[in-house]
């Protein structure tokens, strides 16, 4: 189970920023209360704000880079992408953490995976609404290997759902999670933080979902992990597979 939340650049209005900060505090407290691991995607300008709030939470929390269309536009040059990645890496290092995951929203970077790998990114969450004929995007929840040692995955479910009744959505999510758990499948829940914070009903629904995940994790029926954690496990499995192949070749 992967749980990610995206946090864009802050509003220019002071009142809006203060209101958003209060709601963000509430959201972080909800996550902390349920002891769940979350990957928080953020623009570099908000790394400090999030890092301060996440410190002290017992469950593992990850800060990832949120790549949005306003700075990773399709016509962006590779030099421009490098500058953005350098800025994000420097901002992370200043706060004492490393970036290893990239959440893409409204943009494709299929031809720039080498740049991501050079900057320490090893797992990319793709926006499946962005298509590229040269590279097949993964199916919902599927984890795929990419060039340059990267991993790629797509969201199984996004919250909140546009135009859906909360009661129906909550029931649908519960059934979807139960089916996936029963089949032993990976599930990735992608949360739009701004939309969740702007909708009291969606926030209540999200709280119910967190409670459900916490119960299932305590029962041992599922694990909620960050993208960094699953990437580390995937890297270990890849190394073991490679070692096995070498041994078999030498034995032959």
Share of the chain above pLDDT 70, in %: 69
pLDDT digits (tens, 9 = 90+) for 13-59: 666 667 667 777 888 888 889 999 999 988 888 899 888 888 888 88
DSSP states along 158-202: EESPTT--HHHHHHHHHHHHHHHHHHT---EEEEEHHHHHH-HHH
Q: Once rounded to an integer, what is the mean pLDDT over residues 65-93?
A: 80
Q: Once rounded to an integer, what is the mean pLDDT over residues 135-163?
A: 68
88-102, 135-149, 161-175: range with lowest mean pLDDT: 161-175
Q: How far apart are CA 105 and CA 155, in angstroms?
A: 11
pLDDT at position 133 over 50: no
pLDDT at position 142 over 70: no
| 126 band by pLDDT with thresholds 50, 70 and 90 | low
| pLDDT given for residue 218 in this prediction | 92
Exposure letters 71-104 (e unless 16+ CB within 10 A, then b): bbeeebeeeebeebbeebbebbeeeeeebbbbbb
| pLDDT given for residue 107 in this prediction | 66
pLDDT mean across residues, the chain: 75
What is the number of alpha carbons within 13 Å of residue 119 lying toward its C-beta?
A: 25
| pLDDT given for residue 203 in this prediction | 83
Share of the chain above pLDDT 90, in %: 8
pLDDT at position 135 over 50: no
Provide the β-strand partners of residue 157. Answer: 189
pLDDT at position 9 over 70: no
Domains and CATH numbers, the chain: 2-227 (3.20.20.370)
């Amino acid at each position: 189970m992967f749980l990610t939340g995206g946090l864009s650049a802050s509003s220019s209005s002071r009142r809006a920023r203060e209101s958003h900060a209060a709601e963000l505090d509430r959201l972080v407290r909800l996550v902390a209360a349920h002891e769940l691991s979350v990957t928080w995607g953020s623009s570099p300008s908000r790394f400090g704000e999030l890092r301060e709030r996440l410190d002290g939470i017992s469950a593992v929390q990850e800060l990832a880079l949120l790549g949005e269309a306003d700075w990773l536009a399709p016509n962006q040059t590779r030099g421009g992408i490098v500058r953005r990645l350098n800025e994000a890496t420097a901002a992370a290092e200043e706060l004492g953490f490393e970036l290893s995951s990239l959440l893409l929203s409204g943009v494709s970077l299929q031809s720039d995976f080498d740049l991501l790998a050079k900057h320490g990114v090893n797992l990319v969450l793709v926006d499946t609404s962005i298509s590229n004929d040269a590279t097949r995007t993964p199916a919902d929840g599927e984890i795929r290997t990419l060039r340059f040692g990267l991993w790629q995955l797509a969201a199984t479910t996004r919250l909140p759902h546009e135009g859906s009744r909360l009661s129906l959505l909550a029931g649908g999510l519960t059934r979807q999670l139960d089916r996936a758990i029963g089949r032993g499948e990976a599930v990735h829940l992608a949360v739009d933080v701004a939309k969740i914070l702007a909708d009291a009903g969606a926030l209540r629904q999200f709280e119910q979902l967190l409670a459900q995940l916490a119960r299932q994790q305590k029962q041992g029926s599922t694990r909620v992990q960050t993208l960094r954690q699953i990437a580390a496990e995937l890297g270990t499995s890849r190394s073991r597979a490679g070692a096995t192949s070498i041994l078999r070749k030498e034995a032959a």
